Structure 1
């Protein structure tokens, strides 16, 4: 007759805390000191951000000078400049709707019911077209607003979305070309990818914005904004191509051989067998690349675009609000955090759904 030994009960919360942080007198002292430092920092931040802060713009800058906390009055007074930049004041509702259209397009793309090529194409084409019509106007009774007047959050989202929309398909093409059996194709593609990856993004943006017009005829130059987007998309595609190629290398060789044995041609084996598994393998790095690309949109401020960071600089640039730059940057950082954290959490959801890392 076999004897079974009952497993010990799991430790309580108090026992677990004692084992982790108060196992010895020295460890208890370090834990209490760390807790005191954390409590002090949290209290200082809460006192500055909320308890002693000024939230209304009625008192103006003078009320902020008299207070000991944050001056959120600058946000209440200058939020339009931060979010809309140089966009005409009476037309800023269009910029707000354009941002809503981009967010709605992104949310719909994240819903599994839309995960087919046709549905995603409809969502992205319709969302991008709606954004462009709202921002530029010139039709449907909307006044025309040139790209030079675009700014704020709408411009940041436009650069990010179009960069990914152009760069992601291009990255797949580059990854497939680098794996080509023809040496002149694979080596040329590898040279292009490695050359782009060896340059900082700001160099590529500056080249496409300033230098490229000297090498192109007038009819081919286009607007500076679209040249910058093409440069950003090229940079994105070079890094993403290596991520996709790494995902392809993680697919067992037998998968391709089995596809060929079933009579599938090159394109069908790539689209139905190789790429789905490769994208699954490359999912964590792909989400990370999207996050990096969103944050890198702030670099366009160096070449003269009025995106959300430049708009924030203008919000406190006047003499009366010059002291409130910390509050402005905290507000902008919060906007970046909302978008980046949402991307990261969605990536974690996809990893759980697809069981990435599990075999």
Structure 2
């Protein structure tokens, strides 16, 4: 790769861009065509067709995303759950077994513990802090290990180098959901992970106006994922490709500012007498702080906290806030706030949430790019009794 492409800031703008520019257009056009002229392709998967994820809009995104994390290649999908389900279905079949982290996004938890069980795919959950306990859960049919860079919603940071090393040692495929960190803060292929997944709905797009997913990593594995995706049909529309391609270009600016905002707000909340606990890896009191400091280039824009007073206090604070919008999802330029028990993890039973450490009063905050002084002032008035 040319030297001027070495930095992520440059890759965000220039990697994957068509050369020469199409009709001189600085911004790649939307190729709103379902089908393309046949030019002698011998493989079904090489035909130019929108469902086969190979329009010019898809190709540009694939090249850009691979460059951002220094992966071999990439593929985009119609949503974050589309990439998670497609990847795991490409790797696992009836009778296979997967090790998964014991605190995951609610949709992923439901997919693995319920849908996959119905398909004959088995699982065991691992404690990301205890690598010495993982080998005891291995079976001859174990094929993969799945973790999150920063867990949703408690912001835990597993021993990620140990995960990648464990997978290599035991012949497993290592899969990581890197949504919360984004390529600005962490690049899994650089640390030995086979596949890095993103809900591009969040930080990569950054503007809360599309849903999309992506897998980045080893070429042979992405090839398997692409073939499964072509059959399942979870294709990203060209216009959504265009919006994601545009949103990605400001990723470094947005995420670095969100890193700063989230740290300032976490420190403020951690000092406030009405707050019971704050979960943010940028705080020195966080159990995973030292590991996050060593691994990440920033601590992310996500934090969660619990109020003294439980659910009632949580509801009151959310209601009184004027800047954060009470809504699901995350990673946009605006701050979003929610209780995971009612949104991202509502599909889990109360018992499952309790086992995962997710209380009904837990508040999850996606910090936007508003002025930190205004955000803190808004929380100050909302927390006042």
The TM-score with structure 1 as length reference comes to 0.26
Bigger radius of gyration: 1
Structure (1/2) with the larger helix percentage: 1
Structure (1/2) with the larger strand percentage: 2
